[in-house]
Amino acid sequence: MKQIVTILLIVFTFCSCQTAFKSKTESKNDEWISLFNGKNLDGWINHGSEKWYVNDGEIICESGPKAEYGYLSTVNFYDDFELSLEFKQEANGNSGVFFRSTLEGTKITGWQAEVAPPNKHTGGIYESYGRGWLIKPDPKKDAALKMGDWNTMKIKAEGPKITTWLNGEEMIQIEDEKIGKGKGAVALQIHDGGGIKVRWRNIKIKLIE
């Protein structure tokens, strides 16, 4: 009888531990991780000569004297994730959010969720130094963009499947084998041409395992 009780206690303890471990893991995977501390650019790398600075809890990018492309990338690489951030376009506002991307100077290899003025395909996916536009949103969905005001963009990357949302509106969904094999960082872009200013805040990521 004692042996049976002992065995049952062992089984119960094992099951309880497994349940606790599973709950802890699920909780961890469901947590949002802030990529921006609101104070400085720790955890980010500036590529190029354009201006990136922090003010009042925001990352601000502005065109520099050379009016070239510029990027601010995370030190860490992220494979499968949900990314959420807010942006506010001032002046031209042509920018973008890269993912699974690598940089050599200001030459970036990877994929961009477009951030642009009205009727310029915000939320679409563009492959730099590759195939160009992979998918553009339905033009009617451009009404979701609030030019000159705060917008919330969400990007979900899970294997080859990419989905983007703008202010709660699903913009695109695409499955692409090449994207699925990509490895790299998250990066914010400022377009070339000059006269651009974009504000960013509440940048956070949730890992998918």
Q: Residues 57-79: pLDDT tens digits?
A: 999 999 988 888 999 999 999 99
Q: What per-residue confidence (pLDDT) applies to 29?
A: 58
- Residue range 166-172: mean pLDDT, rounded: 98
| 63, 197 Cβ separation under 8 angstroms | yes
- pTM here is 0.84
Q: What is the CATH number of domain 34-207?
A: 2.60.120.560
Q: What per-residue confidence (pLDDT) applies to 110?
A: 96
* C-alpha pair distances (Å), 202 with each of 34, 157, 171: 7, 19, 20
> Is the pLDDT at 11 greater than 80, yes or no?
no
| 151, 86 Cβ separation under 8 angstroms | yes
Note the pLDDT tens digit of each residue in 154-166: 999 999 999 999 9
> Is the pLDDT at 102 greater than 60, yes or no?
yes
